[in-house]
Amino acid sequence: MATMSTLFAKTPLPSRSLSKSNISHFAPPLTSLSFKQKTTAPHFKLRSIRAGLIEPDGGKLTELIVDKSLRDVRKREAATLPRIRLTKIDLQWVHVLSEGWASPLSGFMRESEFLQTLHFNSLRLDDGSVVNMSVPIVLAIDDEQKRRIGESTRVALVDSDDNVVAILNDIEIYKHPKEERIARTWGTTAPGLPYVDQAITYAGNWLIGGDLEVLEPIKYHDGLDRFRLSPAQLRDEFSKRNADAVFAFQLRNPVHNGHALLMTDTRRRLLEMGYQNPILLLHPLGGYTKADDVPLSWRMKQHEKVLEDGVLDPETTVVSIFPSPMHYAGPTEVQWHAKARINAGANFYIVGRDPAGMGHPVEKRDLYDADHGKKVLSMAPGLERLNILPFKVAAYDKTQGKMAFFDPSRAKDFLFISGTKMRTLARSKENPPDGFMCPGGWKVLVEYYDSLTPADNGKVPVPA
């Protein structure tokens, strides 16, 4: 059975960070098919997309990696510039920008882009067209860093070891309105928001934007770089597989058979629509996640077992890592997740219950309404070209001994296994009901929770 490593080729506001574009027209609604489910959400229209891959936002990928022939020149220039040291999350955003996930952005946001993102969840390009952008991609600096920059129009960005990562050009420095940013992104300023605590609260009081030149592709040297395919690499892979539709599924949790049922059923429905070779992009989030999420290395090992055990078909599935940090900002953030997948070539996006959500950090309730994510995606500015596929609810069918789509007419036959229940079973090394998760995948999950036993050095081991 193939492993995942064999699945890929070897692989009118002035705004200087936005390139001019001729964005493709929006396709008309397709009324011949809808994914039926009981919901109070607006009608989810499937929009006809011509065979082939959907164009990136702005008409082309905005890739920001310096050509090899210029790298030495840029390194010499960087040595003469004021330096800004990047945090781990800052570096992840450099990665995102460098590969074109945020196309047509050409760097960290200047103030006009920041304000459009906060207030409109979109950016207006020079030609008047609109692209979605729902989360600020910004770089914070403190007073001392601002003083050192002085009158310079360029700065060098360095990693934790002082290695030059990138140059930021034609810079603009403006105030960092933290409270407004938090309130508009998360809909609350309650204490305990993970990303806020990690990346905003103690960040500088200024933001610096500009055009980014990244000296080399971002690598992490953690054994997973082979899975970090850029939008251009994914588009090449989809083309090699002759994909005429790409449907994306993001997750930050282990894959169980309910997820697999949803993904295989989506492919079946796309085939019924007349597509010849729809390809699944299984796209786990690989940037910052909160402490109680399963770490990326363990999730990737679990996903590999799902493919090895035949739960998903390796011939019609591409597994890759999405490098973005996670905000847990619900309906606001899920727009970013969907927009980025357009740039990777996806024209269908599967959305489930409470996407990008979390429990309220203070009160005992969910932070967001569970249905708002899919409703917002169906109406979001700049996402009109993307077909939104709402989840069907899957649960464990006790009469069939497997995961199945929930039938409310015989609700007593179904068992809902929550994430909390799954974690409890894995920690106690108990097995879930047969058919809930492939054996190999469950074994990885048990190994992960077993590894959480405090070690002498206080560190959690990574999978072998």
Residue 1 has pLDDT above 50, yes or no: no
Pairing between β-strand 164-175 and β-strand 245-251 as defined by DSSP bridges: unpaired
Residue 453 has pLDDT above 60, yes or no: yes
Mark whether 184 and 265 lie in a shared domain: no
Question: What are the φ/ψ torsions at residue 124 (nearest 5 degrees)?
Answer: -95, 125
Mark whether 192 and 233 lie in a shared domain: no
Mark whether 277 and 410 lie in a shared domain: yes
For residue 45, what pLDDT is reported? 41
Residue 108 has pLDDT above 60, yes or no: yes
Question: How many domains, in total, are found in the chain?
Answer: 2
Pairing between β-strand 387-390 and β-strand 348-351 as defined by DSSP bridges: parallel
Interval 293-310 mean pLDDT: 96
Mark whether 403 and 328 lie in a shared domain: yes
CATH number at residue 155: 3.10.400.10
The H-or-E segment that residue 147 falls in is: helix 143-149
The reply to whether 130 falls in a domain is: yes
Mark whether 209 and 241 lie in a shared domain: no
Lowest-pLDDT choice from 242-246, 314-318, 449-453: 449-453
372 within 8 A of 330, measured Cβ to Cβ = yes
The reply to whether 378 falls in a domain is: yes
Mark whether 191 and 289 lie in a shared domain: no
Interval 136-152 mean pLDDT: 98
Q: How far is CA 239 from CA 78, 175, 226, 320, in A?
A: 38, 44, 19, 16
Domain range spanning residue 383? 225-452
For residue 107, what pLDDT is reported? 98
Mark whether 88 and 185 lie in a shared domain: yes
The reply to whether 280 falls in a domain is: yes
Picking from 242, 239, 308, 278, the residue whose alpha carbon sits closest to that of residue 387 is: 278
Mark whether 159 and 206 lie in a shared domain: yes
Predicted confidence band at 20 (pLDDT cuts at 50, 70, 90)? very low
Ordered alpha helix ranges (H), 388-460: 419-427, 439-451
**Helix axis angle, 111-120 relative to 178-186, nearest 10°?**
40
Query: What mean pLDDT value characterizes the chain?
Result: 89
Residue 94 has pLDDT above 80, yes or no: yes
Mark whether 113 and 156 lie in a shared domain: yes
**212: how many CB neighbours lie within 10 A of its CB?**
25
The reply to whether 56 falls in a domain is: no
Predicted confidence band at 7 (pLDDT cuts at 50, 70, 90)? very low
List of residues 6+ apart from 287 with CB closer than 8 A: 89, 92, 96, 322, 323, 324, 325, 326
Predicted confidence band at 420 (pLDDT cuts at 50, 70, 90)? confident
223 within 8 A of 275, measured Cβ to Cβ = no
The reply to whether 364 falls in a domain is: yes
pLDDT tens sequence across 183-235: 999 999 999 999 999 999 999 999 999 999 999 999 999 999 999 999 999 99
Percent above pLDDT 90 for the chain:
82
Give the integer Cα–Cα distance in Å for 397 and 410. 10
Mark whether 142 and 252 lie in a shared domain: no
Last residue in a domain, options 191, 214, 237? 214
Token pair for residue 323? 């490098």
DSSP for 279-300, please give it.
EEEEEEB-S---TTSPPHHHHH
114 within 8 A of 137, measured Cβ to Cβ = no
Last residue in a domain, options 214, 234, 261? 214
pLDDT tens sequence across 429-442: 999 999 999 999 99
Residue 21 has pLDDT above 60, yes or no: no
The reply to whether 43 falls in a domain is: no
The reply to whether 64 falls in a domain is: no
Give the integer Cα–Cα distance in Å for 210 and 245. 35
Mapping DSSP onto H, E and C, the string for 314-379 reads HHHEEECCECCCCCCCHHHHHHHHHHHHHHCCCCEEEECCCCCCCECCCCCCECCCCCHHHHHHHH
Last residue in a domain, options 149, 183, 214? 214
Mark whether 210 and 325 lie in a shared domain: no
Residue 358 has pLDDT above 70, yes or no: yes
Pairing between β-strand 402-405 and β-strand 394-397 as defined by DSSP bridges: antiparallel
CATH number at residue 251: 3.40.50.620
The reply to whether 88 falls in a domain is: yes
Picking from 164, 169, 175, 240, the residue whose alpha carbon sits closest to that of residue 203 is: 175
pLDDT tens sequence across 227-267: 999 999 999 999 999 999 999 999 999 999 999 999 999 99
For residue 352, what pLDDT is reported? 87
Give the integer Cα–Cα distance in Å for 114 and 209. 9
Interval 341-347 mean pLDDT: 98
Give the integer Cα–Cα distance in Å for 134 and 332. 6
Mark whether 210 and 235 lie in a shared domain: no
For residue 460, what pLDDT is reported? 54
Percent above pLDDT 70 for the chain:
87
